[in-house]
Amino acid sequence: EVQLVESGGTLVQSGGSLSLSCAASQFNFRGYSMSWIRQAPGKGLEWVSYIGSSGSPIYYADSVKGRFTLSRDNAKNSLNLQMNSLRDDDTAVYYCARRSDYYLYFDNWGPGTLVTVSS
Amino acid sequence: QTVVTQEPSFSVSPGGTVTLTCGLTSGSVSATSYPSWYQQIPGQAPRTLIYNANIRSSGVPDRYSGSILDNKAVLTITGAQADDESDFYCVLYMGSGIWVFGAGTRVTVL
């Protein structure tokens, strides 16, 4: 069974930085592209970023472009989201999701990690 | 900026049928939008229901079906059950590596 486990979520001050990780197991991680998707408290889902299986291409939502950096380490089966210049509206549960390259959908999700940005 | 539209809420009686739609404020949903649907119980991670507009994900009951109709993606729940009460999200591929989720539809079974 595919496993995705996010970590790194915590309380951080507005303007600060935080790094989230996603540990992947039980599948060939280097063969899949991945995404981060977030959900603000009481709100809907928002796609954040995408990375191809080999580390490129990388895409970002306009709301995080220039502030967030997505990377992956295929040797360690891990995905990393570096978040800088955090704002109050970045407060959300952040989900790591595997993306099917054939049908372009998110076929497996982690349980999420909560990031709270407080001014 | 194009927005993905979904009905905010629907109520359905047990055993009834409900049809949720997923559209665009500008343009039409097509196969190249690769529409997919996700179910989310509050407090839990989303669960994949439908992908490529009409393919059920593994383990999803056949009371869930998807299609593209009148330029929108459609999710139909036939024979609604109490455990269908949840939030449903669609997401569309906009091209250039960008996905956009709809705001979600809350379905109540009563």
**Residue percentage of chain A with pLDDT more than 70:** 100
Top residue of B50, B96, B99, B101 to mutate, by most chain A CBs within 10 Å, is B99
3-state secondary structure of A89: helix
pLDDT at A33 over 90: yes
Which pair of tokens denotes residue B104?
Answer: 């979600």
Q: Do B51 and A100 touch (CB under 8 A)?
A: yes
Q: How close is the nearest chain A Cα to the Cα of B93, in Å?
A: 8
Query: For the segment A38-88, what is each residue's pLDDT rounded down to a tens digit?
Result: 999 999 999 999 999 999 999 999 999 999 999 999 999 999 999 999 999
pLDDT of residue A101: 86
Q: Closest partner residue to B52 among A46, A103, A110, by Cβ?
A: A103
Which residue is listed with tokens 């790591």?
A: A96
pLDDT at A102 over 90: no
| B12-B51-B65 Cα angle (round to 5) | 35
Residues paired with residue B26 on neighbouring β-strands, in sequence order: none
The Cα–Cα gap between A87 and A115 comes to 11
pLDDT of residue B2: 83
Residues paired with residue A34 on neighbouring β-strands, in sequence order: A51, A98
pLDDT of residue B1: 79
pLDDT mean values, one per 10 residues, chain B (110 residues): 94 97 95 97 95 96 96 97 97 94 97
Q: Do A59 and B38 touch (CB under 8 A)?
A: no
For chains A and B, CB pairs below 8 A equal: 62
pLDDT of residue A91: 98
Task: Count the neighbouring beta carbons within 10 Å of the beta carbon of residue B32.
Answer: 10
pLDDT of residue A119: 85
Q: Do B55 and A103 touch (CB under 8 A)?
A: yes
